[in-house]
Amino acid sequence: MDWGLWIMFAILVVMVVCVVAVSNRRERTAAQNGVFDERQMKIRGDAFKWSFIVMVVYYMAYAILISFTQDGLGAPELMIFLGLELGLVFCSVYCILRDAFLAINRSFGFIVTMDLCCIAAQLVGYFRERAQGALLIENGKLTATGLPLSLAISFGVILIALLVRRHYQKKEEREEA
């Protein structure tokens, strides 16, 4: 048999072993880390339900607006994406304010760092587009250039909610101690 085939087979076996080993390890640690407790699961369920409703209402309202005015407020891709962002922000903030955003023993600092990186990346993208001459508003309508800016604002709102909740958590912990 060709050596190449054996090497491919060996790589496949190693990959399968690695996946099984990692998944076993995750199962062992999942009892303590990275899982949500029953209260958090209930809140997250509510958050998904309400964020879905918020998105549906947004899309319906926008569809009605377009059908009556025959004109949107901005580029279609931006307006569609705004609905998704609205749902994401609503769901995240709902969970954050009810202490159901972070799983048990999950690091607060890691999430904040990720959020900051995301905001920074979106802002860099936005300002680069603007530097290349892209307009945010053209003929009285928002353009797709606003997409990274809207994402930066969305993640900014999530960051503020995280920091506010963290402040109150620290206060609670001090009072409890």
Partner 1 sequence: MKNLKLKAARASRDLSQEELASRVGVSRQTISAIEKGDYNPTIKLCIAICRELGKTLDELFWEETEKKDLSD
Interaction site with partner 1 (CB under 8 A): 31-32, 37-40, 99, 102, 104-105, 169, 172-173, 176-177
List, in order, residues 6 or more apart from 79 with CB less than 8 Å away. Answer: 62, 72, 73, 142
Q: How far is the CB of 37 from partner 1 (least distance, A)?
A: 4
Least distance in angstroms from the C-beta of 26 to partner 1? 16
To partner 1, the closest distance from the beta carbon of 106 in angstroms equals 9
Q: Which is nearer to partner 1, 141 or 166 (CB)?
A: 166
Q: Give the shortest CB-39-to-partner 1 separation in angstroms.
A: 5
Encoded tokens for 148 = 């990274």
- Of 21 and 41, which has the nearer Cβ to partner 1? 41
Residue closer to partner 1 (CB basis): 42 or 128: 42
Q: Which CB sits closer to partner 1, 37 or 138?
A: 37
